[in-house]
Structure 1
Amino acid sequence: MTGRGAVLVVDDEAAVRSSAAEWLALSGFAVATADGAGAAEAELAGRPFDVVVTDLRMPGGDGMAVLDTVARLEPDLPVVLLTGHGDVGAAVEAMRRGAHDFLEKPYDADHLVAVLDRAVRQRRLAAELGRLRAGAGDRRAIEDRLVGTSAAIAELRERVLQLAGIDVDVLVVGETGTGKEIVARALHDLGPRSAGSFVAINCAAVPESVFESEIFGHVRGAFTGAAADRVGKLAFASGGTVFLDEIESMPPALQAKVLRAIQERLVEPIGGNRQVALDVRFVAATKVDLLAESQAGRFRADLYYRLATVELAIPPLRARRDDIALLYRKFLGDAERRFGLGARPPTAADLAEIEVRPWPGNVRELKAQAERAALAMHRPPRPAAPDARLSLPDEVARFEALRIREALEAAGWSTAEAAERLGLPRRTLNEKIARYGLKRAV
């Protein structure tokens, strides 16, 4: 879909419909109109839209009826309500039932455009996420693993697909948290060795004293405690893939032996006299400049050149900011399903806030944040008093207090972060916190 997006304007007054349609068309939107809920349903059934703008009060089917129609026909389609000052309580209820936003009349036309831009963006992000999940075969598999629309991640996907079918050793380079093991598993799962084992070895986590035995294996009696033969991880992976993670941490004394195993595809267990042939693919990963490490004498240059036959560089998250919101929505949905929570899409303010953060921990940090947010968003609010009959100002105040508490909990009770999420000056937020007596649970 081109332009700023397709908008359906629903209002029973012809002059209002015409005026809104003209302004939105001049602003770059494709616009259709309807004079009520029935006409809106016909329009929605006939063509796709990115967002619906509807008046709340209309005879013969009001904005709530339009909201219900959208929920039935296309639940992900955002709805923006236009309401008079006296209808704020109804608008609050509509927000609870899934409306994207509401504006009080008379509204500022530029403000409406800004709200619609955010809604269209959220709609298209959801559609892109759906598209990534709707592919087929290997392309679907790689798009589900390496999610994003940026040029950097698209190029990486193509390289992984190309290399998966070629039985060549690969060096994966990327910062902590960028997904090096995900790339390695994709190379294995989408290639001819997928029926074999994927054996991951973290070179930084295996103690040097047992490294050689773990990797190459040993025969019975090779050393004290070797009560039986042990197949090493390299031989165990026969027919599959060996993933050497954090290869830069491999003990220097063992680098020569690993180089020989990679070059000759042979391994000799400790204490044994018989060499075992290796039918494996090696994928190594590093978070450092391995060439610079080898030039500085901290890593064997011959091992580096043997590993780097093909090098795959994973971009850090800061180099693919267009993917941040899409990844966040995916991780949030994954967390909700894993924790057994109902689906609650992030707000436009949430997405705007996460897109500007530096994310030094890359995708891993973003995923952890999404999981924390999923739990915070579904924390039950404090129940209202039984049979409470609140006035409209009290109802609005209760809703405002709830929103502020949710933002504070999602921000770990950082008032600076919560103020940014809510779009409020920090001083105003502090005043409201004091007014509503909001306190962090002990």
Structure 2
Amino acid sequence: MRGRIAFIDDEAALCAAAADWLEASGFQVRVFTDPALALAQVQPGDCDCVVTDLRMPGLSGQQVLDGFREADPDLPVILLSGHADVPVAVAAMRTGAHDFLEKPYRAEHLVEVLDRAVDLRRMRRQARTRKASPLSAGRLEVRLPGDSAAMRHLRAMVQHLADLPVDLALVGEAGSGRHDVARCLHDLGRRARRPFVTLHCAGLGDAALEAELFGHERGYLAGVSGARTGRLEQAQGGTLFVSDLQDMPLAAQSRLMRVLQAGAVERIGAQTARPLDLRLIAAVTADTAALVAQGRLRADLAHRLSPAALQIPPLRDRAGDIALLFTDMAGAASARLGLPMPDLRPADLDRLAARDWPGNLAELRASAERAVLALPTTPVRSDPAQSLPDRMAMIEAQIIADALTTAQGSSARAADALGIPRRTLNEKIARYGLRAD
């Protein structure tokens, strides 16, 4: 089932047409021509979304919205409005409406909006199953492990800032755990029951990035049918985590700053702004002042983010944590892959602690998984004195070992990447002794 919908409109013919279309699309629909009856009979716990006309005799759509929000603030309510009522619908969004559709609307567009609303409803339900305080201090140590002074300070700052209504920057190298810190800030704060949405700036072209961030109306992008909700709207009420903000074009940064100041977002190609309430957490690779000096970050955006900036320590500054982290990562990989835990001797852990780890936690995790897979940690070099077939076999073994590491131990994915049948790959794995079956 796609979702449970309550559809309210005083026009019986419109209700019947909407019910036919939505039921054919996989939704379960209850229709009401009397809004007071809908408020009395619809139990919020048995409904994923309410769609209501704005102008009706008896009760208005705003009153329906207020009634359902009082019963369950997390229940999405979508308003249907005529052209003259669009400003009223926009104002209603400021009081909690999920979205509005201007009549006459396309049935396909209604389904798109309902899908987003139902997804949001399910996310909120999942969040409610967590404890009222999703992370205790002890749980935070599991999420952000380490006994170094830097990590103890970081955890204390996360607890201090999590529930404060401020945007902030996470300053740290790639792979240092910035996403994990952002998620903990979200889960510990007042927005924990709302969406946590991520946007990666690196690798996106200017137009694609703006479309991802702000969304767009129908016809904006060639080859893309229908309108698209941007990450800002997807994060409504929750947190937007922007990774590598310094890679966002300055023009997009300027528009983002205007959105944050106005508390409203306008999709590309749209004429109407939509109210917005979210927290921005942005990851950057260097101090915000340095990025401003380099011309990679707008000064006004840096000023907004820098007062509550958190420094994420690189792994090389946490040498005392590496043995614990490596052991935990290896244990997790062992459980996930169904392989035995590697024998970790003190000398091995000492050697790990002495390395610089330029890839930080991501590199350490890859090393732990390689240890679980029992793959060599250094490239295999062939001996010039060996025969050509033996030397080629060693090179092949190294290529397969690398493919298995990239595929996280999955021979199926490794076979696809190498372009050979899975059976052939498994035979070669056994021949070279790369992994015990």
Task: Report what 1:311 is aligned to.
Answer: 309
Task: Report what 1:366 is aligned to.
Answer: 364
Task: Report what 2:214 is aligned to.
Answer: 216
Q: Deviations over 1:194-242 (max 9, x none)?
A: 1111110011132212222221112234565564222211011111110
Q: Is the 8 A contact 1:200 1:242 kept in 2?
A: yes
Q: How does 1:37-436 map to 2 (within 5 A)?
A: 137-222=135-220, 225=223, 227-376=225-374, 409-411=376-378
Q: Is the 8 A contact 1:372 1:410 kept in 2?
A: yes
Q: Distance in 1 between matches of 2:255 and 2:268?
A: 12
Q: Is the 8 A contact 1:150 1:322 kept in 2?
A: yes
Q: Distance in 2 between matches of 1:359 and 1:181?
A: 18
Q: Is the 8 A contact 1:329 1:345 kept in 2?
A: no
User: Using a 3 Å threshold, how does the CA distance of structure 1 residues 371 and 177 change in structure 2: closer, same or farther?
Assistant: same
Q: Is the 8 A contact 1:294 1:304 kept in 2?
A: yes
Q: Deviations over 1:42-90 (max 9, x none)?
A: xxxxxxxxxxxxxxxxxxxxxxxxxxxxxxxxxxxxxxxxxxxxxxxxx
Q: Is the 8 A contact 2:135 2:188 kept in 1?
A: no
User: Using a 3 Å threshold, how does the CA distance of structure 1 residues 227 and 153 change in structure 2: closer, same or farther?
Assistant: same
Name the amino acid aligned to 1:241. Answer: T
User: Using a 3 Å threshold, how does the CA distance of structure 1 residues 414 and 288 change in structure 2: closer, same or farther?
Assistant: farther
User: Using a 3 Å threshold, how does the CA distance of structure 1 residues 321 and 374 change in structure 2: closer, same or farther?
Assistant: same
Q: Is the 8 A contact 1:267 1:278 kept in 2?
A: yes
Q: Is the 8 A contact 2:218 2:225 kept in 1?
A: yes
Name the amino acid aligned to 2:139. Answer: A
Q: Distance in 2 between matches of 1:250 and 1:367?
A: 28
- Structure 1 residue 309: deviation in Å? 3.0
Q: Distance in 2 between matches of 1:334 and 1:224?
A: 43
Q: Deviations over 1:241-261 (max 9, x none)?
A: 101100000012211101111
Name the amino acid aligned to 1:338. Answer: R
Identity, % of aligned pairs?
A: 42
Q: Distance in 1 between matches of 2:147 and 2:367?
A: 21
Q: Is the 8 A contact 2:288 2:306 kept in 1?
A: no
Instruction: Give structure 2 stretches of 5+ with no counterpart.
Output: 1-133, 383-430
* Residues paired across the two proteins, number: 253
Name the amino acid aligned to 2:347. Answer: A
User: Using a 3 Å threshold, how does the CA distance of structure 1 residues 441 and 248 change in structure 2: closer, same or farther?
Assistant: same
Q: Distance in 2 between matches of 1:167 and 1:414?
A: 55
Q: Distance in 1 between matches of 2:264 and 2:367?
A: 44
Q: Is the 8 A contact 1:413 1:440 kept in 2?
A: no
Name the amino acid aligned to 1:184. Answer: A
Q: Is the 8 A contact 1:331 1:371 kept in 2?
A: yes
Name the amino acid aligned to 1:314. Answer: I
- Structure 1 residue 411: deviation in Å? 4.8
Q: Distance in 1 between matches of 2:136 and 2:221?
A: 46
Q: Is the 8 A contact 2:143 2:180 kept in 1?
A: yes
Task: Report what 1:132 is aligned to.
Answer: none
Q: Distance in 2 between matches of 1:226 and 1:342?
A: 47
Q: Distance in 1 between matches of 2:355 and 2:221?
A: 53
Name the amino acid aligned to 1:374. Answer: V
Q: Distance in 2 between matches of 1:225 and 1:140?
A: 49
Provide the alpha-carbon RMSD of the alignment. 2.4
Q: Distance in 1 between matches of 2:291 and 2:241?
A: 20
Q: Distance in 2 between matches of 1:360 and 1:211?
A: 28
Q: Deviations over 1:378-435 (max 9, x none)?
A: x8xxxxxxxxxxxxxxxxxxxxxxxxxxxxx4555589xxxxxxxxxxxxxxxxxxxx
User: Using a 3 Å threshold, how does the CA distance of structure 1 residues 266 and 137 change in structure 2: closer, same or farther?
Assistant: closer
Q: Distance in 2 between matches of 1:214 and 1:232?
A: 5
User: Using a 3 Å threshold, how does the CA distance of structure 1 residues 335 and 221 change in structure 2: closer, same or farther?
Assistant: closer
User: Using a 3 Å threshold, how does the CA distance of structure 1 residues 254 and 296 change in structure 2: closer, same or farther?
Assistant: same
Structure 1 or 2, whichever has the larger Rg, is 1
Q: Distance in 2 between matches of 1:199 and 1:213?
A: 15
**TM-score of the two chains, using structure 2 as the length reference:** 0.54
Name the amino acid aligned to 1:209. Answer: A
Q: Deviations over 1:120-139 (max 9, x none)?
A: xxxxxxxxxxxxxxxx9521
Q: Distance in 1 between matches of 2:183 and 2:380?
A: 38
Instruction: Give structure 1 stretches of 5+ with no counterpart.
Output: 1-135, 380-408, 416-438
User: Using a 3 Å threshold, how does the CA distance of structure 1 residues 414 and 155 change in structure 2: closer, same or farther?
Assistant: farther
Q: Is the 8 A contact 1:244 1:283 kept in 2?
A: yes
For the residue of structure 2 that corresponds to 1:176, the secondary structure is: coil
Name the amino acid aligned to 1:203. Answer: C
Name the amino acid aligned to 1:263. Answer: Q
Task: Report what 2:393 is aligned to.
Answer: none
Q: Deviations over 1:81-128 (max 9, x none)?
A: xxxxxxxxxxxxxxxxxxxxxxxxxxxxxxxxxxxxxxxxxxxxxxxx
User: Using a 3 Å threshold, how does the CA distance of structure 1 residues 200 and 223 change in structure 2: closer, same or farther?
Assistant: closer
